């Protein structure tokens, strides 16, 4: 008896289909991301199923990293819940995520004033009459 890669059989029961998400052991839905990718590419372009799996894995990895850093910020502040300000702080503290999210707005995350360096008094150009 040959098994199909897309079905799982159990003793005495009918086989049921195994989703791509289950096969590659990802948390985010591969089929939904594949549908979104196909919607945004030009008509007639080919999108392989491996592309949607790779994109799903990349998005899942980025979310995992961001939540880990935000969770560490929450633990540092002795809180049990991750809030948008903690996500913003995590992005600000990490140089790679800071460059990736540069210019983006985290709703509810607040903002940090960046102080522009000022010249010391007396070092500027003197006024002559």
Residue 85 CA, chain-centre distance (Å), reads: 16
Q: How does DSSP assign 89-105, residue by residue?
A: HHHHH-HHHHHHTTT--
Q: How far apart are CA 96 and CA 61, in angstroms?
A: 14
Taking only the tens place, the pLDDT of each residue in 4-21 is 556 666 676 777 787 777
Q: Please, what CATH class does the domain formed by 19-100 belong to?
A: mainly alpha
Taking only the tens place, the pLDDT of each residue in 29-60 is 988 998 998 888 888 788 888 898 999 999 99
Taking only the tens place, the pLDDT of each residue in 81-105 is 999 999 999 998 999 998 988 888 8
Q: How far apart are CA 57 and CA 63, in angstroms?
A: 10
Residue 1 reports pLDDT greater than 50 = no
Q: What is the mean pLDDT of residues 60-74?
A: 94
- b/e map 92-118, b = 16+ CB within 10 Å: eeeeebeeebeeeebeebeeeeeeeee
């Amino acid at each position: 008896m040959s098994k199909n890669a897309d079905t799982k059989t159990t003793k005495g029961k009918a086989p049921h289909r195994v989703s791509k998400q289950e096969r590659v052991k990802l948390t985010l839905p591969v089929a939904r991301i594949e549908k979104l990718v196909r919607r945004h590419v030009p008509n007639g372009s080919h999108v392989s199923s491996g592309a949607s799996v790779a994109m799903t894995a990349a998005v899942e990895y980025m979310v995992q990293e961001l939540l880990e850093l935000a969770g560490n910020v929450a633990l540092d502040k002795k809180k049990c819940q991750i809030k948008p300000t903690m996500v913003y702080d995590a992005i600000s503290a990490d140089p790679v995520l800071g460059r990736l999210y540069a210019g983006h707005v985290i709703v509810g995350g607040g903002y940090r004033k960046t102080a522009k360096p000022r010249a010391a008094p007396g070092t500027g150009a003197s006024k002559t009459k």
